[in-house]
């Protein structure tokens, strides 16, 4: 029981840390990739911790989570405004 809770919390913390690595832009345009990675991790953890066929459930959960995360991330990317050039070092 404690091992499942520990693994779930560890995977959740890892997905939060990985989703923070999206770049240094003011409005990042890679929410799709972040959504896919975060969804796959979350889906595999949820799939692994449910049912008796852990490997199969983890794989199916990863695929489903990646699909849902990609759709959500794509919607976020489409709603973000395009970056505007404000100056800087241009030749």
Q: Is 0.75 surpassed by the pTM of this model?
A: no
Q: Tell me if 2 is assigned to some domain.
A: no
Angstrom distance (rounded) from CA 58 to CA 87? 47
What is the pLDDT, as a whole number, of residue 77?
A: 85
14 found inside a domain: yes
**Contact of 49 with 65, CB cutoff 8 Å:** no
Residue 68 domain boundaries: 9-18+30-79
Residue 41 lies in a domain: yes
Residue 72's pLDDT is what? 92
Residue 2 to residues 6, 7, 80, Cα–Cα distance (Å): 6, 9, 41
pLDDT for res 71: 93
72 found inside a domain: yes
Answer yes or no: is 88 within a domain: no
Kindly state whether residue 89 falls inside one of the protein's structural domains.
no
């Amino acid at each position: 029981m404690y091992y499942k809770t520990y693994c779930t919390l560890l995977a959740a913390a890892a997905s939060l840390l990985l989703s923070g690595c999206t770049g240094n832009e003011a409005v990042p345009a890679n929410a799709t990739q972040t959504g896919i990675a975060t969804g796959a991790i979350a889906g595999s953890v949820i799939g692994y911790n449910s049912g008796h066929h852990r490997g199969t459930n983890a794989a199916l959960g990863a695929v489903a989570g990646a699909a849902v995360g990609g759709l959500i991330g794509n919607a976020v990317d489409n709603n973000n405004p395009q970056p505007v050039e404000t100056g800087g070092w241009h030749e």
